[in-house]
Amino acid sequence: MNDLRAANFIEIILLYFGFRSRYRVENNSMFPALRSGEQVIIKKSAKLKVGDIVIARHPYKKSVEIIKRIKEIDEGGKYFLIGDNKDESSDSRTFGAVSIEYIKGKVISRLSNYDIGKV
Amino acid sequence: MFDKLKEKLVNATPIKTAEAHCDGPCGVYDPAQARIEAESVYMMTKKILDLKHPGTEDAKAHAAYHNTLTRFIAIKEERAELAKHHVIVLWSDYFKPEHLEKYPELHTLFWKTAKLCSSCKQEVSLEHAQELLDNIKEIHKIFWETKGKDVAWYLASQ
């Protein structure tokens, strides 16, 4: 599993100009990779592979976006998403694999407390 | 200085929330929520069917009739949607593949129950309202079996 690196300056510039998006993680289903309250940067049209952390639209709850890891990509190109902390995760084990339209982007880096001014 | 610049740039951008769980990790589920809403749907359906048209030209009587009927319909619509919500939450968040192995009819049961909620909104059908309650009773039975508890089914409206 790939550990998330800290955001670099170029990514912050791209974020500022709207080429990247910023998300705050709530709850602990991605613990220990990501703790509740941490912020991440996502890239919308990134190539996806097994092990990547992604933001996806919840299949049954239109207004909810979730953060999960790709466990498997099936032959039909659907993504099986799962939380790292399985005890606290509602994921593809309950709602099944999702198609690419549900994936909002790949989490490429995390923002440190220095980046967001919480030092 | 450089950190301050980064901080300003980052904080100038919008932020969204990504749920690392869907309903919080409380793990509290109970089909009673769906049952209560389905009971309301049944009672409202019955009240709509029992409501007598004033049968006169009296404007006040007509207004009162339409007001009551509209309220009954609005409550039935709202409660059927809430029942559907609670049913789908149980289906998607509580039940897991191991439950499906033991209860292979689970998906069909939930699918039909969610569809019945929609039927109860579209129609004024006591049969479908009763069928919705019967399905939720079946969900109640399976749910408490998975918990290893013997919880009796009851209706608040009886």
| A68-112 tens-digit pLDDT | 999 999 999 999 998 887 666 678 887 889 999 999 999 999 998
How confident is the model over B71-123, as pLDDT tens digits?
A: 999 999 999 999 999 999 899 888 888 899 999 999 999 999 999 999 999 99
Q: Give the DSSP H/E element, type plus range, for residue B70.
A: helix B59-89
- Contact of A32 with chain B, judged by CB distance below 8 Å, is answered with no
What pLDDT is attached to residue A116?
76
- Contact of A40 with chain B, judged by CB distance below 8 Å, is answered with yes
What pLDDT is attached to residue B22?
53
Q: ipTM of this model? A: 0.84
Residues 69-108 of B with CB under 8 A from A: 88, 92-93, 95-97
Tell me the backbone φ, ψ of residue A31, rounded to 5 degrees: -70, 140
Q: Scanning every residue of chain B, which has its alpha carbon at the shortest distance from the alpha carbon of A85?
A: B20
pLDDT at B67 exceeding the cut of 70: yes
What's this model's pTM, rounded to 2 decimal places? 0.53
Residues of chain B contacting residue A109, judged by C-beta atoms under 8 Å apart: none
How confident is the model over A30-61, as pLDDT tens digits?
A: 888 888 889 999 999 889 999 999 999 988 77
- Nearest chain A Cα distance for residue B136, angstroms: 20
Looking from the CA of B25 toward its CB, the CA atoms found within 13 Å total: 15
- Nearest chain B Cα distance for residue A115, angstroms: 5
What pLDDT is attached to residue B51?
96
| Residue of A31, A61, A85 to mutate, interface with B, max B Cβ within 10 Å | A61
- Contact of A67 with chain B, judged by CB distance below 8 Å, is answered with yes
Residues 50-69 of B with CB under 8 A from A: none
pLDDT at B24 exceeding the cut of 60: no
pLDDT at B153 exceeding the cut of 90: yes
Q: Do B20 and A93 touch (CB under 8 A)?
A: no
Tell me the backbone φ, ψ of residue A105, rounded to 5 degrees: 165, 170
For chain A, report the end-to-end CA distance as a whole number of angstroms. Answer: 28
- Nearest chain B Cα distance for residue A108, angstroms: 14
Please give the Cα distance from B37 to B25 (Å, whole number): 24
- Contact of A109 with chain B, judged by CB distance below 8 Å, is answered with no
| Confidence at B39, pLDDT banded by 50, 70, 90 | very high
CB under 8 Å to A100, separation ≥6 — which residues?
A: A77, A79
What pLDDT is attached to residue B121?
97
Q: Scanning every residue of chain B, which has its alpha carbon at the shortest distance from the alpha carbon of A86?
A: B21
Residue type, B106: L
Q: How many CB atoms lie within 10 A of CB B153?
A: 14
Q: Do B19 and A60 touch (CB under 8 A)?
A: no
What pLDDT is attached to residue B1?
66
- C-alpha separations of B117 from A39, A90, B24, B40 in Å: 39, 24, 26, 12
Cα diameter, chain B: 81
- Contact of A98 with chain B, judged by CB distance below 8 Å, is answered with no
